[in-house]
Structures are given as structure tokens and as C-alpha cells.
């Protein structure tokens, strides 16, 4: 008998791509139905905003609509659909939730465990996309791409950016500090090695890959990375330890002409402290891709500074990310149906 699979995608994680990959992996063993939610054309929600969704983050959809769509399905494959304790109680037939993102923050993992529902995710799905974006972000600032662009938009030819005392520096001249050496951080390191940068890494829970160590990458304490780096790029997960790690004290340790890049998560950074450091000359520039509140308020002070580049949380958005996540989710479904252990249980 074919297993019933409910697929809830959106305009990024396309449900038709998820369905295609699942059907390829599982052949005749499944019956699928799909739904496309309107993200990112509409913003995600957080659990504190809706009754019964406490603890859930970055989700889209109401409990009633999702429960109705999932119905008697044994498997739910989703990107952003919420799954709370109350919803799980209404879905006794659900046995597997495959979340096509690295961290399934839209699912109550403890409640799923209590109800015997396996939750899997797709870690590293956007690692290449974010790593490449990070290099682009660094080059945008260090080679004066933003400054030249903004000047030309305003009708000003910045020929002075060719002055030796005004122009940018090459990556092979600089020390780059990489905070977090996981799926993304390791890829950033590999890309930086190709540019010839001196690379410092801080991550207290890992050892350097032998190839990186042999290439001269250094694993160093946090304070040393901050003090010696010309560029500091953040790639840690948000935990009790890392929340707010880039605070006033951290920025004070950095060089006053250093570049700070955050393509990780907003809660890792104290943005008030970052504003003060940038506005008062404690830092040279920043490239910010993620924020504590998204979308950011239109009157947010960092939007007004001339030495900041900002993007709307798009580093992980690539066609390759969609294909990678869909393939990983499909493989998890195949393994579940075949009675094999999951690759990435949560």
C-alpha cells in the first residue's frame, strides 16, 4: 500500500521540486499532494505571536490550515509549515516530518518525540551558497565596490578611490577571522585559502581539518582572532553560549579599520553595540545579512550609516540550495519507507 505524503513548499522551496525528487527516490511506494505557501512574498512568523505556537520560530501557516492539509498523511515534507504540540495531537497518523532546512525551528521537537514522530532536516543545504555570498560580501567592502556604486548612483565619479591612501586591499594582504567552523565556516576557509589570505579560525568544539592545518590555517582563541583579523566573518549557530557574542567588548578588541561580516544569524550580534562602534570609529565597516528582527524597521539606525552594506537575508538563496535540500529530504523519505536509519535526525 502506498504511503501518503503531504508536501508544503513555497516560492523558494518549490513543492513541485520536492515532489519530483521524492517520486524519483521512492518510485511507486508513495502518493503525494502539494501546497505552495506565499513565502518569501509574505514574512515568516514566530511562536510568541500566536496562541499555541510557543517556542516555534520562522514558520508560515496557521495550525488549522496545516492540520487540515496534512490530514491522514504518514509523512510531511515541508520548509516552513509549523508543527506544534497541539497540532501533533490532531495528527495521529503522522510518523515522519522532513524539514528542508538546516534547523527545524518550525517544529516542536520535544513534542514530536513524545508523539513518536521522527523529525529530520537538511543540514548544509545552503552551505555553498552562504560561503560564496560571504566572499562576495567581503570583496564588496574591502575593494570599495559599495562605495563606488553608491557614488555613481548619486552622480559622483569617485576617482579618489584610486588613491593609495583610499583604495582597498587584496585578500592576500589580510588576515581573515572565521568564527564557527561548521558546514559553512569550513567552506569559507577553503575559498579564502584560494585567495591567499592568512586565516584564523575560532570554534572551541572542533579541530582543524588536516588539509586546512597543513595550509597554515590557525585555530585560535576568540580574543586573539578579534585582535589580529582585518576581517571577521561570523558563522556560528545561535546557542546560549553564542547569543550576543559580538557585543561591545568584542568590537572593542577589533582593529579600528576592520570589517565585520554577519551572514549567520542576527541574535549572535548586539546591533546597538555594532552601531556605536561603526559610528564612533571603533570599526571600519560592516556587511550585515541577518538581523534580530526581520524585516528591519525603516528607521533602524544602521540603515543610515555610510560604512555599512545590508542585504535582506538572502545569502542562502540559490537554485543549488533548492536542489540540494530537495534531494536530502527525498533521501530521508526513501530511507524511512525502506526501514533504514535517517541521515539527519533531530
Could you give the CA distance from residue 179 to residue 308 in angstroms, rounded to a whole number?
20
Q: Largest Cα–Cα distance of the chain, in whole Å? A: 72
- Rg of the chain on CA atoms, in Å: 22
Which residue from 40, 101, 142 is spatially nearest to 332, judged by alpha carbons?
A: 101
Active-site residue among 45, 265, 289, 331? 265
Can you tell me whether residue 299 is helix, strand or coil? Answer: coil
C-beta of residue 26 within 8 angstroms of C-beta of residue 45: no
Close Cβ partners of 109 (under 8 Å, ≥ 6 residues apart): 119, 346
In a 3-state reduction of DSSP, which class is residue 242?
coil
The pairing of strands 231-234 and 308-310 is unpaired
Strands 308-310 and 285-288, sheet pairing: parallel
Catalytic annotation on 223?
A: no
DSSP string, 31-69: EEEEEE--TTTS--B-GGGSTT-TT--SB-S-HHHHHHH
Output the CA torsion 14→58→222→270 (10° steps).
130
Cell 561591545: give the residue.
248
Per-residue burial over 194-227, b = 16 or more CB atoms within 10 Å of its CB, e = otherwise: ebebbbbbbbeeeebeeebeeeebbbbeeeebbe
Is 218 a catalytic site residue? no
Buried b (16+ CB within 10 A) or exposed e, 30-57: bebebbebebbeeebbbbeeeeebeebe
**Active site (annotated) includes residue 313:** yes
Which of 58, 313, 331, 334 is an active site residue? Answer: 313
Rounded to whole angstroms, the Cα distance separating 123 from 100 reads 8
Buried/exposed code over 318-328 (b: 16+ C-beta within 10 A; e: otherwise): beebbebbbbb
- Active-site residues, by number, are 265, 294, 313
Amino acid at each position: 500500500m502506498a504511503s501518503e505524503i503531504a508536501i508544503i513548499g513555497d516560492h523558494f522551496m518549490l513543492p513541485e521540486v520536492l515532489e519530483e525528487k521524492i517520486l524519483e527516490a521512492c518510485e511507486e511506494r508513495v502518493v503525494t499532494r502539494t501546497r505552495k505557501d506565499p513565502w518569501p512574498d509574505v514574512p515568516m512568523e514566530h511562536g510568541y505571536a500566536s496562541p499555541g505556537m510557543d517556542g516555534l520560530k520562522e514558520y508560515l501557516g496557521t495550525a488549522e490550515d496545516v492540520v487540515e492539509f496534512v490530514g491522514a498523511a504518514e509523512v510531511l515534507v515541508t520548509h516552513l509549515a509549523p508543527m506544534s504540540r497541539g497540532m501533533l495531537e490532531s495528527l495521529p497518523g503522522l510518523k515522519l516530518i522532513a524539514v528542508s532546512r538546516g534547523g527545524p525551528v518550525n517544529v516542536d521537537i520535544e513534542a514530536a518525540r513524545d508523539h513518536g514522530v521522527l523529525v529530520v532536516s537538511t543540514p548544509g543545504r545552503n552551505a555553498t551558497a552562504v560561503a560564496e555570498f560571504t566572499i562576495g560580501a567581503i570583496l564588496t567592502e574591502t575593494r570599495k565596490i559599495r562605495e563606488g556604486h553608491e557614488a555613481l548612483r548619486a552622480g559622483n565619479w569617485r576617482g579618489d578611490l584610486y588613491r593609495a591612501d583610499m583604495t582597498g586591499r587584496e585578500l592576500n594582504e589580510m588576515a581573515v577571522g572565521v568564527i564557527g567552523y561548521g558546514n559553512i565556516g569550513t567552506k569559507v576557509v577553503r575559498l579564502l585559502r584560494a585567495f591567499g589570505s592568512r586565516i584564523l579560525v575560532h570554534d572551541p568544539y572542533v579541530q582543524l581539518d588536516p588539509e586546512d592545518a597543513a595550509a597554515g590555517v590557525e585555530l585560535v582563541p576568540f580574543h586573539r582572532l578579534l585582535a589580529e583579523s582585518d576581517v571577521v566573518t561570523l558563522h556560528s549557530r545561535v546557542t546560549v553560549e553564542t547569543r550576543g557574542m559580538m557585543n561591545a567588548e568584542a568590537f572593542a578588541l577589533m582593529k579600528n579599520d576592520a570589517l565585520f561580516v554577519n551572514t549567520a544569524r542576527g541574535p549572535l550580534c548586539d546591533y546597538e553595540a555594532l552601531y556605536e562602534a561603526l559610528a564612533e570609529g571603533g570599526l571600519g565597516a560592516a556587511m550585515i545579512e541577518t538581523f534580530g528582527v526581520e524585516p528591519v524597521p525603516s528607521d533602524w539606525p544602521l540603515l543610515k550609516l555610510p560604512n555599512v552594506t545590508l542585504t535582506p537575508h538572502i545569502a542562502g538563496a540559490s537554485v543549488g540550495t533548492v536542489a540540494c535540500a530537495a534531494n536530502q529530504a527525498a533521501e530521508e523519505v526513501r530511507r524511512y519507507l525502506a526501514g533504514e536509519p535517517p541521515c539527519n535526525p533531530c
